[in-house]
A and B are shown apart, each in its own frame.
Chain A
Amino acid sequence: MSNVATFDTRTEAKIPVESPLAYSYRRSGAPAPTGKSRVVLRERPFLGHLILRGGAIVLDEAVREVLGVSLPGEPQGLVQDADGERSVQWLSPDEWLVIVPGGEEFTLENRLREALGDAHFAISNASGGQTLVELEGEAARELLMKSVIYDVHPSQFPVGKGVTTVFAKTTVILRRPDELRWELVVRRSFADYTYRWLLDAGDEYGIGVKG
């Protein structure tokens, strides 16, 4: 076991917690989805986000043992567990993003540290720094075509792929967990910009926001 100091970033105290988009909902509103909405936006706030760094082989062993899924070894890979609640995404040859239900990340981090022992690795908790935004609906891809520079055609962007790319004038991690949904991992400080861009660009598709 390494001598790294870890701590649970979730406070026990009764401090109100707000998602990175809380301000945006108040300031820009959240139009409810209607029958005419061809795309629906939904934030999945307060999830556990961990960045794993190290060699693919040792990390794979630990992730299999602790999380029960294999580490995507191929570039742009995204794998999920059976119920789709936990995912591991390739970010670079020595870096992966793990997203788990909120509250699980600290236990997961500790169990991974234990499994990895003295191996050469790093784990950082990025939960407070980013949020996850889902896009669903028949016009989701059209909306993305206006927003990201990456080719989102199914032939180039199949299910199980994820990339870091340019979104409008910022960057996002764009992932495709299944046929219907797209996920955007956005940085906290750019969440408002991304949200307002999506509302504006999604206007023509009658975009709605699910609470």
Chain B
Amino acid sequence: MFYIHCPYCGELREEEEFHPKGQAHIARPEDPESCSDEEWGDYLFFRDNPRGIHHELWVHAVGCRKFFNITRHTVTYEILETYKMGEQPRFTAEHPEGRPSQDGVEPAPLREGVRA
């Protein structure tokens, strides 16, 4: 039994319900037309392969079917956190013990998928 916390379902769910979708936080170039071949190639094909903390995109495929992010350790496989799209990770390579909150101000979470 291996559980992953889905930030949209708000509970731990069986790993079988999820699929990994590669590296997270890859921003599409604002103006693809003005990209060099190298920049566009980097965006399309080149991914990080760190030893240690890695931010990944996952999807709760059999469940709410939402995409979300996981911070995972590629050596221990430990999942340090899961967070919604648009949010920033707390655990990073620079702050493996967790990013200190800036003057106690947490980054404002974005409400994804709900538009009234």
Binding site for B on A (CB under 8 A): 54-58, 74-76, 91-95, 120, 149-150, 163-166, 171
Q: Which residues of B contact A74 (CB under 8 A)?
A: 10
- Given the known interface contacts A91-B64, A166-B17, the answer about A56 and B116 at a Cβ–Cβ threshold of 8 Å is yes
Instruction: Point out the residue from A56, A57, A75, A171 that lies within 8 Å of B9, measured CB to CB.
Output: A75
- Given the known interface contacts A91-B64, A171-B62, the answer about A75 and B113 at a Cβ–Cβ threshold of 8 Å is no
Whether A166 and B64, one on each chain, are in contact in the complex, defined by CB atoms closer than 8 angstroms, is: no
Q: Chain A: which residue is nearest B61 at the CB level? A: A171
Whether A94 and B10, one on each chain, are in contact in the complex, defined by CB atoms closer than 8 angstroms, is: no
Whether B63 and A163, one on each chain, are in contact in the complex, defined by CB atoms closer than 8 angstroms, is: yes
Q: Which residues of B contact A91 (CB under 8 A)?
A: 64
- Given the known interface contacts A75-B10, A76-B9, A76-B11, the answer about A94 and B62 at a Cβ–Cβ threshold of 8 Å is no
B54 to chain A, nearest CB (A): 26
Q: Which residues of B contact A165 (CB under 8 A)?
A: 13-14, 17, 62-63
CA distance A104 to B8 in the complex (A): 31
Interface membership of B114, Cβ < 8 A: yes
Report 13 cross-chain contacts, Cβ distance below 8 Å, ordered by A residue: A55-B114, A55-B115, A76-B9, A76-B11, A92-B63, A92-B66, A92-B113, A93-B8, A94-B115, A163-B9, A164-B62, A165-B13, A165-B17
Given contacts A75-B11, A92-B113, 13 further A-B contacts (CB under 8 A): A56-B116, A75-B8, A75-B64, A91-B64, A92-B63, A93-B112, A93-B113, A94-B114, A94-B115, A149-B14, A164-B64, A165-B62, A166-B16
Whether A94 and B113, one on each chain, are in contact in the complex, defined by CB atoms closer than 8 angstroms, is: yes
Q: Which residues of A contact B116 (CB under 8 A)?
A: 55-58
- The B64-95 residues at the A interface (CB cut-off 8 A) are 64-66
CA distance A92 to B114 in the complex (A): 10
The binding surface of chain B is classed by DSSP as loop
Q: How many pairs, one residue from A and one from B, have CB atoms within 8 Å of each other in the complex? A: 54
What 0/1 readout, one digit per residue, does chain B (1-41) give for beta carbons within 8 Å of chain A? 00000001111011011000000000000000000000000
Whether A166 and B62, one on each chain, are in contact in the complex, defined by CB atoms closer than 8 angstroms, is: yes
Binding site for A on B (CB under 8 A): 8-11, 13-14, 16-17, 62-66, 112-116
Q: Chain A: which residue is nearest B9 at the CB level? A: A75
A51 to chain B, nearest CB (A): 12
A24 to chain B, nearest CB (A): 23
A168 to chain B, nearest CB (A): 12
Q: Chain A: which residue is nearest B15 at the CB level? A: A149
A152 to chain B, nearest CB (A): 12
CA distance A54 to B114 in the complex (A): 7
B85 to chain A, nearest CB (A): 11
Whether A56 and B8, one on each chain, are in contact in the complex, defined by CB atoms closer than 8 angstroms, is: no
Q: Chain A: which residue is nearest B66 at the CB level? A: A92
- Given the known interface contacts A92-B64, A149-B16, the answer about A120 and B115 at a Cβ–Cβ threshold of 8 Å is yes
CA distance A41 to B8 in the complex (A): 32
B62 to chain A, nearest CB (A): 5
Q: Chain A: which residue is nearest B10 at the CB level? A: A75
